[in-house]
C-alpha cells in the first residue's frame, strides 16, 4: 500500500467560533462554541482529529484495514467507516453486545460505508486485549475505542489551532475516553484551565486515561467533573431534552444527548455554583456526535 492515503482533508475553514449569550450566562462571563460539528457532514467534530494520524500511521505501516471498537450508537464507529471508505481502506468494527434483530441507524450506515461488523459479548469485549485482536486480524491497524491512543491525542492537539483560542481562560469539553481532553491539555496555554465533563457514571479511571496521553510541559490546570452524567452514558431526562431544545432556539447550535448536551447542561450548574471567576472567557468544544440523536423518536428534538 502506498504511504500516502487518499483521504481528502476536511476544510477547517468550515469551523466557526460562535459566541452565545443564553439567559443562564451571567454578564460577567463570556462564552463561545468552537463549532467542530461543521467540519464535515460525515466525519464531524473531534472524530476526524482522532482518526487523522491513525490513518496516516496505518498507511505508513502498509496496513490496508482499520479495526476499531464501539457500541451500537458509537460516533467513532460511524466516522471510521466513512473515513476508511474515502481513503480506500477496509474497516472492521468490533461491536459491543449481541446483534439486535434490527440494527441501529449508526450500524446500518457503517455497513453501508463498507464496514465489516463483528459482534462480541460484553464480557469478551471487556476481556480481550489489543494483542488478541491483532492475532485474529494480522492485516489490520488497530485503533482503540474512541481513538484513545497517542495518535488520537496528537490529532486533538490541532483543535485549538483552528482559530485563535488564546484569549479564553477555560477550555471545556465532554469526555468519553479522554482522548480529546488529553489533546486539549497538551495544546492549551499555561494560563488556561481545561475542564472535562465525564459522560459515563463511575468513570474515575478517566484521570489515568487522560494522564497517560499527556506530554506538555508545563501542563495547564485540568480537571474532570464526574457529577453531570444524569444517571449514566446516553441517559436522558425531560429537563435535558428541554435544555437542548431551548439552547437551539436561542443560539441555533444543535447539541447531542450524549456528549455536548450534558456538557452545556452541567456547565450551567457549575456557573450557578460560582465556579468561574468574573471576567472568565469560556470556550466550549463542539465534538459533533449529532448522529447519536437519531436514537430518539422523531419530534423529541426541535431540529
Domain count, the chain: 2
Q: Write down which residue in 113, 147, 181 finishes a domain.
A: 147
203 Cβ partners below 8 Å, 6+ apart?
A: 175, 224, 226, 229
Q: Write down which residue in 100, 118, 147 finishes a domain.
A: 147
- Predicted model pTM: 0.94
CATH number of domain containing 111: 3.40.50.1100
Q: Are residues 75 and 169 in the same domain?
A: no
Question: Which residues make beta-bridge pairs with 224?
Answer: 196
Q: Are residues 214 and 81 in the same domain?
A: no
CA distance 176 to 173: 10
One digit per residue, the tens of pLDDT, for the chain of length 303 reads 444 566 677 889 999 999 999 999 999 999 999 999 999 988 999 999 999 999 999 999 999 999 999 999 999 999 999 999 999 999 999 999 999 999 999 999 999 999 999 999 999 998 888 888 999 999 999 999 999 999 999 999 999 999 999 999 999 999 999 999 999 999 999 999 999 999 999 999 999 999 999 998 999 999 999 999 999 998 999 999 999 999 999 999 999 999 999 999 999 999 999 999 999 999 999 999 999 899 899 999 999
Q: Are residues 57 and 199 in the same domain?
A: no
In this structure, the chain runs to a length of 303
Residue 270 domain flag:
yes
Q: Are residues 136 and 223 in the same domain?
A: no
Residue 7 domain flag:
no
Q: Are residues 74 and 192 in the same domain?
A: no
Q: Are residues 175 and 277 in the same domain?
A: yes
Range of the domain at 97: 47-147
CA distance 25 to 22: 6
Amino acid at each position: 500500500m502506498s504511504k500516502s492515503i487518499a483521504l481528502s482533508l476536511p476544510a477547517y475553514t468550515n469551523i466557526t467560533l460562535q459566541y452565545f449569550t443564553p439567559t443562564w450566562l451571567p454578564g460577567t462571563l463570556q462564552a463561545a462554541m468552537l463549532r467542530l460539528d461543521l467540519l464535515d457532514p460525515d466525519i464531524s467534530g473531534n472524530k476526524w482529529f482522532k482518526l487523522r494520524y491513525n490513518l496516516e500511521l496505518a498507511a505508513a505501516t502498509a496496513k490496508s484495514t482499520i479495526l476499531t471498537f464501539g457500541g451500537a450508537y458509537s460516533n467513532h464507529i460511524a466516522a471510521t467507516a466513512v473515513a476508511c471508505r474515502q481513503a480506500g481502506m477496509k474497516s472492521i468494527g468490533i461491536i459491543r453486545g449481541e446483534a439486535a434483530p434490527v440494527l441501529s441507524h449508526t450500524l446500518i450506515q457503517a455497513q453501508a460505508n463498507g464496514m465489516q461488523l463483528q459482534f462480541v459479548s460484553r464480557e469478551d469485549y471487556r476481556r480481550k486485549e489489543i494483542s488478541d485482536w491483532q492475532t485474529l486480524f494480522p492485516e489490520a491497524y488497530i485503533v482503540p475505542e474512541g481513538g484513545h491512543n497517542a495518535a488520537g491525542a496528537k490529532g486533538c492537539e490541532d483543535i485549538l489551532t483552528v482559530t485563535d483560542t488564546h484569549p479564553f481562560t477555560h477550555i471545556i469539553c465532554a469526555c468519553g475516553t479522554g482522548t480529546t481532553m488529553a489533546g486539549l491539555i497538551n495544546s492549551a496555554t499555561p494560563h488556561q484551565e481545561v475542564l472535562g465533563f465525564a459522560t459515563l457514571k463511575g468513570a474515575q479511571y478517566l484521570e489515568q486515561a487522560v494522564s497517560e496521553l499527556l506530554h506538555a510541559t508545563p501542563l495547564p490546570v485540568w480537571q474532570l467533573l464526574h457529577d453531570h452524567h444524569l444517571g449514566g452514558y446516553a441517559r436522558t431526562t425531560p429537563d435535558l431534552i428541554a435544555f437542548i431544545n431551548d439552547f437551539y432556539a436561542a443560539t441555533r447550535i444543535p447539541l447531542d444527548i450524549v456528549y455536548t448536551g450534558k456538557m452545556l447542561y452541567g456547565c450551567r450548574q457549575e456557573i450557578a455554583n460560582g465556579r468561574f471567576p468574573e471576567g472568565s472567557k469560556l470556550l466550549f468544544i463542539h465534538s459533533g456526535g449529532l448522529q447519536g440523536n437519531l436514537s430518539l423518536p422523531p419530534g423529541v428534538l426541535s431540529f
